[in-house]
Amino acid sequence: MNDHRPRKRFGQNFLQDPNVVAKIAHAIAPRPDDHLVEIGPGLGALTEALLPQVEAMDAVELDRDLIPKLAQRCGVLGQLRIHSADALKFDFADLVADGRPLRIIGNLPYNISTPLMFHLLKSRAVIRDMHFMLQKEVVDRLAATPGGKDYGRLSVMMQYHCAVDSLFDVSPGAFNPPPKVNSAVVRLRPWERPPVAVADVTVLEKLVTQAFSQRRKTLRNTLKGLLSAEQISAQDIDPTRRAETLSLTEFAALARAVR
């Protein structure tokens, strides 16, 4: 079972610490009728812990060589539907045939974690929650509050779409091969209704991206072409502030002011 050599091009770092697996399974706390979807199950350490707790489970795996090994290890534990696919191109909404919302889980490859999370947000209407193992630095950015160096575009946009809970850190030794960085587990729960109102989320995305494009510059400079200093002031926001000091509520106010 362990004769598979982890592949760098797939960003494979297989979870192998049973204590960490148990901790993640406890955080997810699946019920028998939950619709679990695992991204990148690898050799099935987490699948093995979760599959016996549910009636059936989907898994999306890119590495075709791993699929027979996964089926062999976990096939006897329950109904596992394995999709041989690239999660970045996979339409997760297609899995919701029975109307049950998806609970997505995964030890995500660090090189694709951010684009993959934004890809999943396209299906947020059918997702109940997501539990991911990510680079700790990414989790810190997801959960960051205004004022610190971790706070940026990722923090603002993910918090617009989801409630973010940083759960616990995981050391490199929990994986084979051990990554060069620390990891952390995060829970993302898509809002039924976003916490702030904006007319057009693409305007918010553009404004936030532009505001953080040159972090050291003031809003007066970074938002040129979108808003004037007078328009920023009209929202009770000082145009000499920097993007990292603004709350989600303030970004939403600026997005609503864009004509």
Give 120-155 pLDDT, tens digit per residue. 999 999 999 999 999 999 999 999 999 989 999 999
Whether 43 and 162 share a structural domain: yes
CB 254 within 8 A of CB 207: yes
Dihedral of CA atoms 163, 16, 37, 106 in degrees, nearest 10, equals 40
Question: Is 185 part of any domain?
Answer: yes
Average pLDDT, the chain: 93
Residue 235 domain flag = yes
d(CA 182, CA 169) in angstroms, rounded, equals: 7
CA distance 97 to 11: 31
pLDDT score of 35: 97
Res. 4: pLDDT tops 80: no
End residue of a domain, out of 153, 168, 190: 190
In a domain, 114, yes or no: yes
d(CA 247, CA 90): 33
End-to-end CA distance of the chain: 59
Predicted confidence at residue 143, as pLDDT, reads 97
Residue 221 and residue 123 share a domain: no
Domain containing 244: what range?
A: 201-257
Domain boundary among 169, 190, 211: 190
Angstrom distance (rounded) from CA 206 to CA 223: 10
- CATH value at residue 218: 1.10.8.100
User: What's the CA gap between 121 and 115, in Å, rounded?
Assistant: 10
Residues 184 and 211 grouped into a single domain? no
Please determine, for residue 246, whether its predicted confidence score (pLDDT) is greater than 60. yes
Asked if residue 18 and residue 100 are part of one domain, the reply reads yes
C-alpha to C-alpha distance for 166 and 186, rounded to whole angstroms: 5
Question: Are 36 and 149 within one domain?
Answer: yes
In order of 15, 143, 150, the CA distances from 43 in angstroms are: 9, 29, 33
Q: For residue 6, what pLDDT band results from cuts at 50, 70 and 90? A: very low
Same domain, 38 and 128: yes
Could you tell me if residue 142 is inside a domain?
yes
Per-residue pLDDT at 20 exceeds 80: yes
Give the CATH number, domain containing residue 110.
3.40.50.150
> How far apart, in whole angstroms, are the C-alpha atoms of residue 83 and residue 37?
10
Indicate if 179 and 220 belong to the same structural domain. no
Residues 6+ apart with CB under 8 A from 108: 39, 40, 116, 132, 133, 134
Whether residues 223 and 107 share a domain: the answer is: no
If asked whether residues 82 and 26 sit together in one domain, one would say: yes
**Phi, psi of 253, rounded to the nearest 5 degrees:** -60, -40
Q: Which of 144, 160, 190 is the last residue of a domain?
A: 190
Q: How many CA atoms lie within 13 A of 174 on its CB side?
A: 22
Is 2 part of any domain? Answer: no
CA atoms of 65 and 82, how far apart (whole Å):
13
For residue 159 the two structure tokens come to: 């918090």
Query: Do 252 and 156 sit in the same domain of this protein?
Result: no
How many angstroms separate the CA atoms of 81 and 59, rounded? 6
Q: Is the pLDDT of residue 90 over 80?
A: yes
Which amino acid is residue 13, in one-letter code? N
Indicate whether 1 belongs to any domain.
no
Question: Which residue shows structure tokens 């009728």?
Answer: 33
Question: Is residue 52 located within the same domain as residue 178?
Answer: yes
More confident residue, 3 or 162: 162
Same domain, 171 and 210: no
How many angstroms from the chain centroid is the CA of residue 146?
20
C-alpha 159/C-alpha 145 separation (Å) is 10
The tally of domains found in the chain comes to 2
Report d(CA 136, CA 215) in Å as an integer: 22
The per-residue pLDDT for range 190-220, each reduced to its tens digit, is 999 999 999 999 999 999 999 999 989 999 9
